[in-house]
Structure 1
Amino acid sequence: MSAQSTVPGVKRGTVPVFATATAIAVANIYFTQPLLEQIARDLRISSSAAGIIATAGQIGYALGIVAIVPLADRVRLRRLTTVLLAVTALALLAGALAPSIALLGLATFVLSTTTVVPQVIMPTIASMSAQGQTGRALGAVGTGLTLGALLSRTVSGALSEVTGTWRVDYFAAALATGCLLFVLPRYMPKRSPAAGATTTGYLKLLASIPPLVVRYPTLRLSALLGSVSFAAFSSFWATLAFHLSEKPLQLGPAAAGLFGLSSVPGALAARYSGRLSDRYSPDTVNAIALASAGTAFVVFLLGGESLAALMIGCNLLGYGTTSAQIANQTRVFTGPAAIRARLNTVYIFSLFAGGAIGSAVGIAVFEAHGWTAMVYIGMAYLAVGALLLTGHAHAKRRTSVVPAAEADVGAARPAPAVSERR
């Protein structure tokens, strides 16, 4: 990002550092997915029991979004990120040494709760951006977020297969997070965007979040669009490993991880969606994103047994999901800087609620009815998104036409005479 793209005083290299930090942090949520089968074998538990790791991660992350991210509107950002990264690194070390599924689940819960640094970074970089450049900044940092989510599966699957143990992945994640601890806080602003605002108590800060949903229609729209898009994305990734392990493909966890690597081109292409949001509108990018993700599920339906088709679909889905998130957050962050962390709390909570529903429903449908049924479910989520965006566009047209018509009527009426004014 050029100097003209940020407000004065922003340190050079902030956007690349933020993008790298989001990639490392978000990887802590997803790297366990290819490891569940290996964890089950090592700890001598069932596959369903190993699923507690995924559940603990989702619950912990949701708690962190609600309980920690709003603090970014009030507390010192450097101190907040330092504490979060330190606790996350320690929890990862505890997970690497955990002798039982209960302790591993607890460590995963803690690290997922505190690894919400990306959701602190997003409103921060929006506040650092110059006017008209928010989408561009979010596009750069959001690309790092997506790459971290995708590549974490690839790296963890490869590491566990080469070393023969899932514990090395926890050690590697702890090391990466620990290194980040000495870099990221230096690039965070000394104060929150709300510095100088009236100080409120923690409970009042949390209580101020629900009214935002009523007050900001753009927040409601972004939250709904994000949740259905991420539900479709999660339903695919939650069932991909199971689909690959079945006939005729019959591939292992490393292959599932490689699909993350194959999705990198789509994620990189999504970076330019931020510029499109700035130049045109987030609505336009949302439409493109839904079309891309919808095409991906058509490819999954027609070529579900072809590795090439699945890889093409992965790129289309990755592009669509990342572009949708960039557009949605660009729309969300048009709100006041003093409440952007709380606006982001609502948006991200909705996003991951949709993802949790998508994963659970996708796995259940896959187990009961197979791959094709899961694909239809993904299409249904995206169809809901298309209806939401169409309704929003229609409402915008009505609000723009009605005032114009009223102005025309007012112009057509002759000015009242002096006697009429009386």
Structure 2
Amino acid sequence: MAICLVHRPQIPSPQRGTALTVEAPARPGLSRGTALTLAVAGALTVANIYFPQPLLDAIASGLGVSDSAAGLVATAAQIGYAFGISLVVPLADVARLRRLVTVLLALTTAGLLVAAAAPNLATLTVATVALSTTTVVPQILMPTAASMAGPAHSGRAVGMIGIGLTLGSTLSRTLSGAVVGLSGDWRTAYLVAAALTGALALVVPRLLPERTGRGGDVSYRKLIGSMPGLLVAHAELRLSAYLGGTVFAAFSAFWATLAFHLAGPAFGKGVAWAGLFGLFSLPAALLSYSAGRLSDQRGPLYVNTLALGCVGVAFLLMGTVGTTSMAALVIGCNLLVYGGSCWQIANQVRIFRLDERIRARLNTLFMLASFAGGAVGTLTGTLLYEAYGWTGMVLGCGGFLALAAAGLLRARHLD
């Protein structure tokens, strides 16, 4: 697939609630090679949020804490990512992208090194919040790629970066589990992540335009202050934010408790097995690439409905047969990854149709809602698992999916 478009767009008239929009410059274009590289960069950086999840059992043992206490590391990652999305990503509408991305990659690398050397859970949790706050490069690359590609190919650009994020979030669990399985030390996974993140600082900034908009004189305070108005103005944004938060809560609850379930009496598997589920779900991650094109052809609401059906079947399967069957868990995991990835891509395609001059802020609001939901889901999932086991966790996820279905039913007119 070639994504290459170089032209000067017409600037649309400002829409209600889009205060502080800026004039868009000529598009630099998005070649196939650049798109693939940005997708890889997105995969490696988003992995920093997810790779600790299969390590929670090892972290609990290594630091001498309970399983629920170790679960705070996963929750901290979601909270930190939400901080970064709300406070850092909006800068992509007005900042010098190359400098911004370089600084963020350097800070994330430093945070990973501190986490690797953490002597206790408190230090590890604080370091996780810090590094997760700065590892928001994927959410800067997403709207930037859409702007570089242009309106005719923005859906494909979102799909390509989206599959990179899906592969990063899934395969990172495989990599971290394998690293710990080979080294016998969960800290090694953090060192590997630091090396990969640091290397990106030498490559990614060179591929980006200096800016995607003109407006560097806009104060940070006004930039942040403009976002509530965007949420009020756009029903499509409110819908995507709500849908993103509810389903990502269920998605996060599953991954935060999978290692505990696999280590339990029914399976007796170690950390490496939890990581292998990222590899097992690779086919679903690859198939989700079609979500961007399908959203353009049939509309995001159609893709949302398809995705929710897949996720619902996944939890039904994993909550029944998946209590004792490894095959059922693998099949359910594939359905969950496919549905979850398509769900997110459709939601982002919906909001990127609104106004290209404020895409970073639109993405900020959407991702903030999604990862706030993820933090709630992670915490809820670990608490439910500790109190009621795997079945209790799955039932809790069913509640999140019911909320998502209600939102879809009320928003059938938007697409």
TM-score, scaled relative to structure 1: 0.89
Q: Which residue does the alignment assign to 1:18?
A: 38
Q: Which residue does the alignment assign to 2:269?
A: 251
- Closer, same or farther: CA 122–360 of 1 in aligned 2, 3 Å: same
Moved more, 268-277 or 233-242: 233-242
Shift in Å, 1:242: 1.7
Measure, in 2, the Cα distance between the counterparts of 1:198 and 1:75: 6
Shift in Å, 1:356: 1.3
Alignment deviations for residues 248-305 of structure 1 (CA, whole Å, 9 cap, x no partner): 2121111111111101111110001111011121111111111111111121133111
Which of 17, 34, 37 is residue 54 of structure 2 equivalent to?
34
Shift in Å, 1:11: 5.2
Query: Matches of residues 85-100 of structure 1 in structure 2 within 5 Å?
Result: 85-100=105-120
Q: Any conservation in 1 of the 2:68–2:383 contact (CA below 8 Å)? A: no
Shift in Å, 1:59: 2.3
Shift in Å, 1:374: 2.1
Shift in Å, 1:143: 0.7
Moved more, 87-96 or 322-331: 87-96
Measure, in 2, the Cα distance between the counterparts of 1:301 and 1:6: 49
Q: Quick one: which amino acid aligns to residue 308 of structure 1? A: A
Shift in Å, 1:342: 0.7
Q: Any conservation in 2 of the 1:33–1:54 contact (CA below 8 Å)? A: yes
Q: Which residue does the alignment assign to 1:241?
A: 259
Which of 359, 369, 374 is residue 340 of structure 1 equivalent to?
359
- Closer, same or farther: CA 217–201 of 1 in aligned 2, 3 Å: same
Q: Which residue does the alignment assign to 2:234?
A: 216
Alignment deviations for residues 349-378 of structure 1 (CA, whole Å, 9 cap, x no partner): 100111111122222222222222322222
Measure, in 2, the Cα distance between the counterparts of 1:109 and 1:396: 36
Measure, in 2, the Cα distance between the counterparts of 1:138 and 1:3: 11
Q: Which residue does the alignment assign to 1:354?
A: 373
Higher relative CO (Cα under 8 Å, sequence separation at least 6) belongs to 2
- Closer, same or farther: CA 339–166 of 1 in aligned 2, 3 Å: same
Alignment deviations for residues 158-177 of structure 1 (CA, whole Å, 9 cap, x no partner): 11121111221111111101
Q: Quick one: which amino acid aligns to residue 226 of structure 1? A: G
1:171 aligns with 2:201: no
Moved more, 284-293 or 2-11: 2-11
Q: Which residue does the alignment assign to 1:405?
A: none
Equivalent residues, number: 394
Measure, in 2, the Cα distance between the counterparts of 1:162 and 1:40: 18
Measure, in 1, the Cα distance between the counterparts of 2:334 and 2:69: 32
Alignment deviations for residues 30-64 of structure 1 (CA, whole Å, 9 cap, x no partner): 11122233233333444444344323322221111
Q: Larger Cα Rg: Structure 1 or Structure 2?
A: 1
- Closer, same or farther: CA 218–51 of 1 in aligned 2, 3 Å: same
Q: Which residue does the alignment assign to 2:204?
A: 184
Q: Which residue does the alignment assign to 2:10?
A: none
SS of match in other structure, 1:150: helix
Alignment deviations for residues 86-130 of structure 1 (CA, whole Å, 9 cap, x no partner): 111122122223333333333222211100000101111111123
Q: Any conservation in 2 of the 1:285–1:323 contact (CA below 8 Å)? A: yes
- Closer, same or farther: CA 49–301 of 1 in aligned 2, 3 Å: closer
- Closer, same or farther: CA 240–201 of 1 in aligned 2, 3 Å: same
- Closer, same or farther: CA 177–4 of 1 in aligned 2, 3 Å: closer
Q: Any conservation in 2 of the 1:194–1:337 contact (CA below 8 Å)? A: no
Q: Quick one: which amino acid aligns to residue 2 of structure 2? A: S
- Closer, same or farther: CA 183–370 of 1 in aligned 2, 3 Å: same
Measure, in 1, the Cα distance between the counterparts of 2:124 and 2:382: 23
Q: Quick one: which amino acid aligns to residue 306 of structure 1? A: S
> Aligned-residue CA RMSD in angstroms?
1.8
Measure, in 2, the Cα distance between the counterparts of 1:6 and 1:284: 31
Measure, in 1, the Cα distance between the counterparts of 2:169 and 2:6: 27
Shift in Å, 1:245: 1.9
1:322 aligns with 2:341: yes
Q: Any conservation in 1 of the 2:74–2:256 contact (CA below 8 Å)? A: no
Measure, in 1, the Cα distance between the counterparts of 2:140 and 2:387: 39
Q: Point out 4+ residue stretches in structure 1 off by more than 6 angstroms.
A: none
Shift in Å, 1:396: 4.9
SS of match in other structure, 2:289: helix
Q: Which residue does the alignment assign to 1:379?
A: 398
Q: Any conservation in 1 of the 2:301–2:346 contact (CA below 8 Å)? A: yes
Q: Any conservation in 1 of the 2:312–2:401 contact (CA below 8 Å)? A: yes
Q: Which residue does the alignment assign to 2:84?
A: 64
Q: Any conservation in 2 of the 1:133–1:278 contact (CA below 8 Å)? A: no
Q: Any conservation in 1 of the 2:29–2:150 contact (CA below 8 Å)? A: no
- Overall identity of the aligned pairs, in %: 52
